[in-house]
Amino acid sequence: MELIEGFAEKAIASGAFQPMDKIYVMNKIRALVGDEDAEAQPDTPLASQLVELAVQRGKIEDGQTAREILNDQLYDLLTPTPAKVNRTFWQKHEQSPQQATDWFYDLCTSNDYVKVSAIKKNIEFTKKVNDGNELEITINLSKPEKDPKAIAAAAHDTQKKYPQCALCMENEGYLGRLGHAARSNHRIVRMTIGGKQWGFQYSPYAYFHEHCIFLDAKHEPMEINQQTLINLIEIEKQLPHYFVGSNADLPIVGGSMLAHEHYQGGRHTFPMMKAPIKQELSFKDYPDVKAGIVDWPMSDLRLISKNDQALIQLGTHVINVWDHYDDPELSLKAFDGNTRHHTVTPIMHRNGDEFVLDLVLRDNNTSKEYPLGIFHPHEKLWHIKKENIGLIEVMGRAILPARLKSELEEVKKYWLNEPNKIADSHLPWAKEVQARHDDINADNVEEILEQEVAQVFGDVLADAGVFKRNAQGQAGWQRFVERL
């Protein structure tokens, strides 16, 4: 099979073009990789071969950014226009929301926007930890390292950016540049949420199945308030088979994109969703809402109701009370002057015709003892996890850094008394684990490693909880509930 011709036929088969368009499409490809066709090699994606062809012919430089830009330009030829994507999505949505997302997700994987082959490199396992909760662990190996040329260029770049950030609508079809990802094959479904235009897209380097993002059409800062709950309800009504949630809107406890209002969602049942209520609560003004404190290391108040308006009202009450709640005994302080320290991580999913809202209480105060955050992973755990605890991790799915793949191999060698280069940061933990397991051997070392990493993540979540699972923390819960 000829390479250019084969990719043109693939573009036609995708539905983006008609058979009559074949010469036109081949010329589009030639403009990118050069005029002469070449023989296709089996077992390698055609787009990858075309990128190599372009490098060999000097059509692009041999660099990470240039390769990614060309790859996505090629896959753009397999992708319908945004208007066609939106028309098809909403036509299928009339039949069923799941049919619509199935189609859109398939499109975004087949056109290489969702980087399936890269995501498969991630390490994943699930383990039950000491408190009885099951936690999901991932070591994220899919995101490529930053292009060194992009890092160097960014150091001297003071120009106003277009698009303003990676979540802006203007990324749809954007060619890309040093320091800003290629997005030629990117498509966004338009939605009306809270009376405003929003977008719905999938995450290119997904952390779980059908990991998606809902983004405000305007570049506006994140904010958690009553409108957030209204928006989450409206998304659940349109896509009831997905969960949806928001990162907190403050540094330390928030996500990495506080400048652009957005939510995350997808088709995954997280450990926190399966955790039971350990203490039922009732609010006399809201008889339609079941409520309770969840048996979870972070401090989660769950509200369940078929009555979405009652759920929004009670949820707003919880947010407003927590925003101004102090408890000096537990180092909980809502404000320093005008600086706010309290917010929530709100997460919603459906259970039949019931809406289930989890409100996880967050506090971003710091102290001399805990300069990165009192309710943040403490220093003892930084060898595994030092980064912010965002929405996904709140729910019990760890997103751990790629460095751990090689570092943990050295830990295993250390336990097996083999020559090793164990990092100093892991050594106290490795010794402590070894003291508890006097039978570590080649057959069980992997199992022990996974169990101990999961336990560290459980301790990370406990550090981030504002009401600890001890007598003092439980008394704190009761004081807060009384205030509610």
Could you tell me the two tokens for 2?
Answer: 């000829």
DSSP letter (8 states) at residue 479: H
Q: Mean pLDDT, to the nearest integer, of 421-433?
A: 97
> Residue 431: phi, psi to the nearest 5?
-65, -40
3-state secondary structure at position 31:
helix
Using alpha carbons only, give the angle 172, 174, 179 rounded to the nearest 5 degrees.
120
At residue 72, the pLDDT reads: 97
pLDDT in tens, 250-279: 999 987 789 999 999 999 999 999 999 999
The pair of structure tokens assigned to 28 is 């589009």
Gap between the Cα atoms of 163 and 174, Å rounded:
8
Strands 212-216 and 196-202: antiparallel
Q: What is the pLDDT of residues 193-213, one digit of tens each?
A: 999 999 999 999 999 999 999
d(CA 368, CA 439): 40
The pLDDT, as a whole number, for residue 151 is: 54
Give the global pTM: 0.94
The model's pLDDT over 20-74, given as tens digits with 9 standing for 90+, comes to 999 999 999 999 999 999 999 998 999 999 999 999 999 999 999 999 999 999 9
Reply yes or no: is the peptide bond before residue 80 cis, omega within 30 of 0.
no
**The pLDDT of residue 148:** 61
- Report residue 272 as tokens: 């926190």
Q: How confident is the model at residue 334 (pLDDT cuts 50, 70, 90)?
A: very high
- Which ranges in 218-302 belong to alpha helices (H)? 226-238, 271-274
pLDDT of residue 256: 76
What pLDDT does 438 receive? 87
Chain mean pLDDT for the chain:
95
How far is residue 243's CA from residue 347's CA, in Å, rounded to a whole number?
Answer: 7
Cα 74 to chain centroid distance, Å, stands at: 27
Which amino acid appears at position 151 of this protein?
A: I
Contact status, residue 140 vs residue 399, Cβ threshold 8 Å: yes
Interatomic CA distance for residues 188 and 364, integer angstroms: 33
Round to the nearest angstrom and report the end-to-end CA distance of the chain. 69
Quick: pLDDT tens for 366-417.
999 999 999 999 999 999 999 999 999 999 999 999 999 999 999 999 999 9
